[in-house]
Amino acid sequence: MRKRVVLYRPVPADVLEILRARFDVTAFDEVSEANRPQFVQALGSAHGIMGNTLKITAALLDAAPELEVASTISAGYDAFDVEALTRRGVVLTNTPDEVTETTADLVFALLLSSARRVVELANWARAGEWRGGVSEHYFGMDVHGRTLGIVGLGRIGAAVARRAAQGFGMRILFTKRRPDPHAESAWGAQRCELDALLAQSDFVCTMVPLSSETHHLIGARELGLMKPDAILINASRGPVVDEAALIAALESGQIRGAGLDVFEREPLPADSPLYSLPNVVALPHIGSATRATREAMARRAAENLIAALEGRHVSTIVNPQVMELRRARGVCM
């Protein structure tokens, strides 16, 4: 009997064909209030699911008694109740490698745009305000030779550090649970505690996954430790930063500015002060949003799903402890 798969995000046509050649596929472009009953009904016989952004809760998993694999088309997996998946013996896979370089590009775009006031001054010029030379009032700040503090030197953080050190001659500080000999030798990076990083950095870049430990990791106290001329960059997950505290710090001039691709609530409400503050660059969560990267993510997610459902090894399993549960139940992978 062919296994059944439910997709809840669009995928490229060739990826869909690959999946349909192996499984019975039910595809939803998205899950809304209108089609949620049909989606839940499809989950009832699903062996695998694939998509992103939708919250996969324990209650939703109760509707999927046959589920074996959840494959997310993303590096992050905070949309999933990992504990509930693991308890049910469901493998969760992600796509961390495909997003690394593209997201690092976007992080640096935020950094440069914030430092040189690119969006603010482009809008100023477009509004017809550019009538002569640009006065000191509109000057930005240099990036080259400055200090970049990276909170969480994982895959993407390391790619940002490489760009900063090799391309802009920046001094790199980072926080990480363990030393990183490669970063230290290749880029002269220095590992330090968060408070020291905040106090010394001209740019602070948050690159940690969202968890109970990192929720509001950067709050009023942490923002108060930053230099008055410092800029905060967040392209990880919105709730890593206390948004209300950040808005207060930006409005008061406690820090110079912020470059943000993620927010506590997405889409960011139209009346958010972050849209009206001139010292903020706010993007609509586009870290991995290039055609090549999104297609690569979809293909890897499909490959993960196929391998896991066919009992083969998958290198990017979020909850490897589920393997012990499967072995205990006599299921091989």
In terms of domains, do 39 and 159 share one? Answer: no
Give the mean pLDDT of the chain.
96
Is the domain of 54 the same as that of 175? no
Q: Is 214 helix (H, G, I), strand (E, B) or coil?
A: coil
- At 151-161, the pLDDT tens digits run 999 999 999 99
**pLDDT score of 203 more than 50:** yes
| Catalytic member of 9, 191, 237, 299 | 237
4 backbone dihedrals φ, ψ, rounded to 5°? -110, 135
* The pLDDT of residue 311: 87
- Mean pLDDT on 9-19: 98
Catalytic site includes residue 237: yes
Any domain includes 212: yes
Question: Does residue 196 sit in the same domain as residue 53?
Answer: no
In this prediction, residue 333 carries a pLDDT of 47
Task: Choose the weakest-confidence range: 133-137, 195-199, 253-257, 320-324.
Answer: 320-324
Statement to judge: residues 188 and 104 lie in one domain? yes
Residues pairing with 238 in the sheet: none
Contact between 69 and 93 (Cβ < 8 Å) = yes
Q: What is the pLDDT of residue 139?
A: 97
- On whether residue 333 sits in a domain, the answer given is no
* 226: CB partners within 8 A, 6+ apart: 198, 199, 201, 204, 232, 254, 255
| Same structural domain, 51 and 84 | yes
What is the per-residue pLDDT across 59-111, written as a single tens digit (0 to 9) for each? 999 999 999 999 999 999 999 999 999 999 999 999 999 999 999 999 999 99
* Residue 13, domain member (yes or no): yes
Residues 37 and 167 reside in one and the same domain: no
Q: Are residues 129 and 257 in the same domain?
A: yes
191 is catalytic: no
Same structural domain, 196 and 304 = no
Q: DSSP characters for 166-182?
A: IIH--EEEEE-SS--HH
Domain containing 12 — which CATH number? 3.40.50.720
Q: Do residues 203 and 304 both lie within one domain?
A: no
The pLDDT score that the predictor gives to residue 329 is 66
Range of the structural domain that residue 297 is part of: 4-94+291-328
Count of domains for the chain: 2
Q: Of 30, 66, 129, 266, which is the active-site residue?
A: 266
> Is 48 in the same domain as 136?
no
Q: Give per-residue pLDDT as tens, 300-330.
A: 999 999 999 998 989 999 999 997 676 666 6
Catalytic residue of the set 285, 294, 299, 300? 285
* pLDDT tens-digit readout, 282-298: 999 999 999 999 999 99
pTM: 0.94
Domain membership of residue 311 (yes or no) is yes
313 is catalytic: no
